[in-house]
Amino acid sequence: MLECNCLPPSKLGTLTYWDESYEPEIVNLVDMGDEGEVWFAYDKDVLLIIQQSSPQQYQVGCGNGQLLFLLAQGGYPLELLAVIEYSASSIKLASQIVHSKGLDSLRLEQKDILMDQIPRPAHADDNNKLGWDLIMDKGTFDAISLSEATVDSQGLFEHYREKVMDLLVKVIEKRKSNERIMLGELS
DSSP letter assigned to residue 83: E
Domain that holds residue 20: 11-185
Is residue 102 over pLDDT 80?
yes
Counting beta carbons within 10 angstroms of the beta carbon of residue 160, is it exposed (0 to 12), middle (13 to 18) or buried (19 or more)? Answer: buried
0.75 exceeded by pTM: no
In a domain, 56, yes or no: yes
In a domain, 31, yes or no: yes
In a domain, 146, yes or no: yes
Q: Give the CATH number of the domain where residue 98 resides.
A: 3.40.50.150
In a domain, 37, yes or no: yes
Is residue 175 over pLDDT 60?
no
Q: How far apart are CA 70 and CA 47, in angstroms?
A: 8
In a domain, 4, yes or no: no
In a domain, 3, yes or no: no
pLDDT tens-digit series, residues 72-90: 877 888 888 888 999 999 9
In a domain, 5, yes or no: no
Domain count, the chain: 1
Question: What is the mean predicted confidence (pLDDT) over 89-97?
Answer: 92
In a domain, 6, yes or no: no
